Amino acid sequence: MPFPPERPTATFPYQVEARIGEGAMGVVYRAVEPVLERRVAIKSLRLQLLAGEAPEVLREYRLRFLQEARAVAALSHPGATTLFRIGEEEGTPYIAMEWLDGRTLEAVLQEEGKLAPERAAGLLLDLLGTLDAAHRAGIVHRDVKPANVLLTADGSALLTDFGLAKGSAYTVLTRRGQVLGTVDYLAPEIIRGEPATPASDLYGLGCVVYDCLAGKPPFAGKGLLELGLAQLEEEPQPPCEGSLGWAVLQALEKDPARRPPTAVAYASMLRVALREQT
């Protein structure tokens, strides 16, 4: 029987309503847990696309999927989704998580263009709170980008998709020569093949807020090779005038040691800049 089952089973207690999205590794469904009468998001591994892969590659994808569950479970923060269950049905691993109505920041930017500074800064401060909690739990997200930011009905911003997350106790899954992440928002040290750190997440978030303020990421319009070189070598122009534009750029320093030391420090810097801006 293919995944997902047509009706709840003993090992899969959910009634799937719709397929709502997919990525390179996973498929996301909206579902209901009838017994508890609650809506959930189900993310499953796309094993059907990996049928021709070697066994060691399949093991790597399964481990990476498990690491996402561990990362979500380790975070107890309003800016992160709640994990309900991890299981396997018909050979397909899945994660059941809290369902949240909203749109991705990527969709909002595509529809509305750049955001007002106050709104962009507010979203950034929400995300910095989540990153701070993740970093204190020993988790590095490694793929901070607008597609992984969910804007809820009340205007809050949540950080989602910890599929590339890395913690101190996790297996290192990156193969030699493999770069994981989205280059528009990827820190220079990751492009160079160095380990991701909390400073790498701050770089990605700096690129996200730059996108919100300027209507495009720092080095938009370049080919993949040119984009990678720009992240390594070029200094971005401020996304806006004044102290806020300067503050945003502090997270985009090429040298991780020159970025704000923590998410909390970057949040304080942005709050001061926003007050000076208004």
Residue 228: other Cβ atoms inside 10 A: 18
**What b-and-e string marks burial along 150-181, b requiring 16 or more CB atoms within 10 Å of the CB?**
bbeeeebbbbbbbbbbbbeebeeebeeeeebb
Identify residue 192 by its one-letter amino acid code.
Answer: R
Q: Is 242 left (phi over 0), alpha (psi -120 to 50) or beta?
A: left
Choice among 126, 132, 143, 211 that is catalytic: 143
Q: Is 184 a catalytic residue?
A: no
Q: Check residue 32 and report its DSSP letter.
A: E
Rg from Cα positions in the chain: 19
Contacts of 232 (CB under 8 A, 6+ apart): 188, 191, 192, 254
Residues designated as active site: 143
